[in-house]
Chains A and B, each alone.
Chain A
Amino acid sequence: MSLSFQLIQNGDSALDICFQGTPGEALSKVIIALQRLLQQEMALGCWPGLQELIPAYQCLTIVYDPVQITGGGPTFGELHAQLQAFIAKTLASSSFPEALLRTQPSALIEIPVCYAEPFAIDMDVVCAHTGLARNEVIARHHKPEYLVHMLGFSPGFLYLGGLDPSISCPRKEKPALRVDAGSVGIGGAQTGIYPQATPGGWQIIGRTPLPLFDPQQEYPFVARPLDRIRFVPISVQEFESMTRNAAVAMHAGSEEI
């Protein structure tokens, strides 16, 4: 696979491996496969000082301990050179990235979303920006199968690809100080769900009753990178009954500890 990349310093304790190319499924497969391979090697102790790998649309961020890298371990120059050679060799392999991705096949996950008035607090902004009626924005939002590019931002947040460009809408000028948990938003050409109440800059067009993060579970998130997501529209009544059921299930879970 011929793909050019660059190592870019991201602060004093991280490097971004940035790939040339447009964000999409092919690039995400490369990034996730590379992450899995590096993760395996890190677990074997091949990369002393490397601590975290954060995949994104065009980059894989490597977080490292600068003290360990400089003190006794490889120097920055050596780390750069080693990574450069490692990535070039990996990309050149004919089985890359497919062989690495086969170990964790992708799943299709349905997420219920209520696009009704009480939850769609920024729908008017999106309608005004796109020139589309409310129903049309909703239809275009739940029609596609979205690709999970990565998790991040806050625990369990899914970065999804596949938003219909006709309903893209710029982020807020100033991030809102509080966005409710489960809120479904559009930020530029991206769409996603806020797993917790957090500050956030996206335009909110609906809400899911499904908890996106449950630390009691062995895998505490609803999806993995490269899984597919489908939004299923639900009514306010369905939202409320599902919220009650989720609360009962969570409560039952927490009573066991």
Chain B
Amino acid sequence: MLRILKPGLQTSLQDGGRMGWMQYGIARGGAADPVAMRLANSLLRNPAGHPCLEVTLTGPELEFTADLSIAICGARFALTHNGCSVDNNCVIQIRKGDVLQFGPLQSGARAYLAFAAEPQLAAVFDSFSTYLQAGFGGVRGRSLRAGDQIPLQNCRREKSRQLADGYQLKYTGRPQLRVIDGAEAGLFARDQRELFYRTAYRVSPQSNRMGIRLQGDTLNTEGLPQMTSSGLCPGTVQIPPDGQPIISFVEGQTIGGYPRLAHVISADQHLLAQLKPRDKLDFQRVDLETAVRILCDKTALLARLDTQS
């Protein structure tokens, strides 16, 4: 059993998400940073999309009622285990009654706590992930509250080890995100496209798992034809009439009606999860072939992780 003493800002159960439901308006959801989730799971020899706690900006305080191993990857918090400081990116051995506390955030925005155990909960549409916007999945369809308990079964001990250096991600708070042209990029005036690539956008505090709202120079969308709504995927950068870009994210709407200027390449989308309000970011344009090559490279790098364990 995992007991929530303090919930943190937005702590929720997440996994690899749901596939095949976008036609009904259900986004894939799951971990906002599937790379960090995967790294944490790999330390415990879990499957890549094994359910984890996604911890956002302000972390929780947790008590465990069983012996098991856990691991934390992604954003760095000042972590204490029974009052002693512990690190990200390594196996942490937990004994019954131990308390884990997430202190101040040091870098990134979302950490993933993986456990060598299985949550004893009902899956919704074949996934344990919490769909926060629509209120289903995970623990009662919402982020965790003080007093919540997650029953765990098949608790295991894994041998102590660390993530290899090459896999220890650092978040600068000023990422460069690679994008390809969106489906309507050609409809924007050339100077507006140039402005988009020149602007250092700031992350609005109104960002969430549904979308990352950006603040910066206003893009002019006048003269663009009114669009009929069509399929929308995570990573797509839409420009609403107010001219401030919105990046669709893991719980994003499946159909959108604003012009799509750009698309954050799949390989870089996990970095969106580590953006805090007021972080800045830059866009760098690449072509489709480059986008896919980078994704294949990152996928191969992560696949090697599994052969090492």
Q: Which residues of A contact B (CB under 8 A)?
A: 8-14, 16, 18, 23, 35, 51-61, 63, 66-67, 70-71, 76, 150-157, 159, 171, 173-175, 177, 187-188, 190, 195-196, 198-199, 201, 213, 215, 220-221, 257
Contacts and interface: CB of A to CB of B under 8 A. Distances in A.
Given A12-B263, A12-B266, A67-B295, A152 B124 contact: no
B230 A57 contact: yes
A35 B231 contact: no
29 contacts: A9-B180, A9-B181, A10-B182, A11-B260, A12-B263, A12-B266, A16-B230, A56-B230, A56-B231, A56-B255, A57-B229, A59-B231, A60-B231, A63-B233, A66-B266, A66-B296, A67-B299, A70-B296, A150-B23, A153-B253, A154-B25, A156-B24, A159-B255, A171-B241, A188-B226, A188-B257, A198-B210, A198-B253, A215-B137
A126 B41 CA distance: 52
Contact of A58 (B180, B230, B253): B230
Majority DSSP secondary structure for residues of B touching A: loop
Interface string B123-151: 01100000101111100000000000000
Nearest to B181: A9
A221 B230 contact: no
A257 B23 contact: no
Contacts of B235: 11-12
A220 to B, nearest CB: 8
A64 B192 CA distance: 30
Majority DSSP secondary structure for residues of A touching B: mixed
Nearest to A13: B266
B226 A153 contact: no
B228 A56 contact: yes
Interface of B: 19-26, 122, 124-125, 131, 133-137, 180-183, 206, 210-211, 226, 228-231, 233, 235-236, 240-242, 253-257, 260, 263, 265-266, 288, 291-292, 295-296, 299
Contacts of A8: 183
Contacts of A59: 230-231
B134 A63 contact: no
Contact of A56 (B20, B229, B233): B229
Contacts of B236: 10-11
A175 B248 CA distance: 14
Nearest to B265: A12
Nearest to A56: B230
A67 B136 contact: no
Contacts of A53: 22-23
Contact of A155 (B20, B25, B256): B25
